[in-house]
Structure 1
């Protein structure tokens, strides 16, 4: 059964790894089995994710952006099986801040009661500027995401915030986010991977720009890269070598793509091994 940690305790755990020269790895998770394996592999935190939920249903990450389900209800439904399979690793949730009927502090208490130690707010900016501007006009836009981070910091719950550009990185750092992750859209690769027009070099350069902006606000902020062309260990290592990143967040790269490769390979192996000559 997973333990619940304060933000102070989570930061101390991560800083111990960073001080020891060890990179951080944080996977998204959509099932109890993958959570168990992710912890066994040494993940530093695990994020319960509605995008993972849809990926494990055979759909792409973007299915979570459509009105197919309530992203927060998915978290509450998944939490019991993931919490039951984790012993020590802090659990975060990719929770949406945009339901005006769910006050942030009530939301955070429900998450904590479910065994979750922090939030990785669902990134409204992935919908694009035009849509977000309309949401902002009616009070359910990006500002609520920032306020969700502020509330978590005040409640001593760990907050890992995504940023798509330097201004967002600065604002989230000012809001009290303990960690900032660059986001370059859904991950490419595999059977249901997205298409990205961002190259690995562009993602690396833009990540560093966002990191520098966040560090100017808080020199102790913990930094991650995620998404788009950063589709595997080699790509993640390239970003780590060439930026101030402390680690990598894997969505499809940490769960969907490895599952696709493993099941495809073993199915083909069985077909070959069982062939009657």
Structure 2
């Protein structure tokens, strides 16, 4: 059964790893078995994710915010399964902040009671500026993510927030985010990988500008990278060598792509066993 941690306790755990020279890793998770294996492999954080839920159904990462899906209800339903299979790693949730019928304090209290130590707000900006502008106009936009970070910080819950630009990183750091991750687009690769407009070099450059902006506000803020062409260990190694990133968030790269490779390879192996005839 997973343990709950305060914001300070999570930060101390992560800073201990950083001081040891160990890179941080937070995978997204869509089932209990994955959570168990991710912790066994040494994950520093595990994120209950509606994107993972849909990826494990064979669909793409953009499915969770379609009209037929309530991302927060998915998290609430997945949480017991994940919590039951994790022993020590702090659990976060990829939770949506924009539901006007679910006040932040009530939402966060429900997550805490479910065994979740912090949040990674669902990144509305993945849907593009036009959608985000319209959502902001009706009071359900990105500013709600910022408010959720601020409220979680006030409630002593750990917050890891995605920033697509340096300006967003500044705002999130000012709101009290414990950690900031650059987001350079949906992860490419595998059967359901997204198209990405940035090269690995461009992703590193943008990530560093995001990190610099966050560190101007909080010199101790923890830095992660995620998305786009950062699809595997070699790409993550490049990011570590060329930015100040201290950790990596794996969505498709940490669950969908490894499952695709393993199941595909196992199936081929069984089919290649000769039989008598």
Does the pair score TM above 0.5?
yes
In 2, Cα distance between equivalents of 1:22 and 1:94: 24
Deviation at 1:65, TM superposition (A): 2.8
Deviations 1:209-233 (A, max 9, x none): 0000000000000000000100001
Root-mean-square deviation (CA, aligned residues, Å) is 0.8
**3-state secondary structure, aligned to 1:92:** strand
Q: Find runs of 4+ consecutive structure 1 residues off by over 3 angstroms.
A: 274-277
| Residue number in structure 2 paired with 1:35 | 35
**3-state secondary structure, aligned to 1:61:** coil
Deviations 1:161-187 (A, max 9, x none): 000000000100000000000111211
Gaps of 5+ in 1: none
Number of residues paired by the alignment? 277
In 2, Cα distance between equivalents of 1:194 and 1:211: 24
Deviations 1:98-125 (A, max 9, x none): 0001110110000000000000000011
| Residue number in structure 1 paired with 2:220 | 220
Gaps of 5+ in 2: none
**3-state secondary structure, aligned to 1:22:** coil
In 2, Cα distance between equivalents of 1:57 and 1:102: 26
| Residue number in structure 2 paired with 1:258 | 258
Deviation at 1:60, TM superposition (A): 1.1
In 1, Cα distance between equivalents of 2:66 and 2:120: 19
In 2, Cα distance between equivalents of 1:181 and 1:232: 17
In 2, Cα distance between equivalents of 1:248 and 1:240: 9
In 2, Cα distance between equivalents of 1:275 and 1:233: 38
The equivalences for 1:220-239 within 5 A come to 220-239=220-239
| Residue number in structure 2 paired with 1:12 | 12
Deviations 1:123-153 (A, max 9, x none): 0111111111111111110111000000000
| Residue number in structure 2 paired with 1:53 | 53
**3-state secondary structure, aligned to 1:38:** helix
Moved more, 24-33 or 60-69: 60-69
Deviation at 1:66, TM superposition (A): 1.4
| Residue number in structure 2 paired with 1:159 | 159
Deviation at 1:276, TM superposition (A): 4.3
TM-score (norm 1): 0.99
TM-score (norm 2): 0.99
Deviations 1:193-246 (A, max 9, x none): 111111100000000000000000000000000001000011011001110000
| Residue number in structure 1 paired with 2:93 | 93
Deviation at 1:68, TM superposition (A): 2.3
In 2, Cα distance between equivalents of 1:48 and 1:2: 13
| Residue number in structure 2 paired with 1:67 | 67
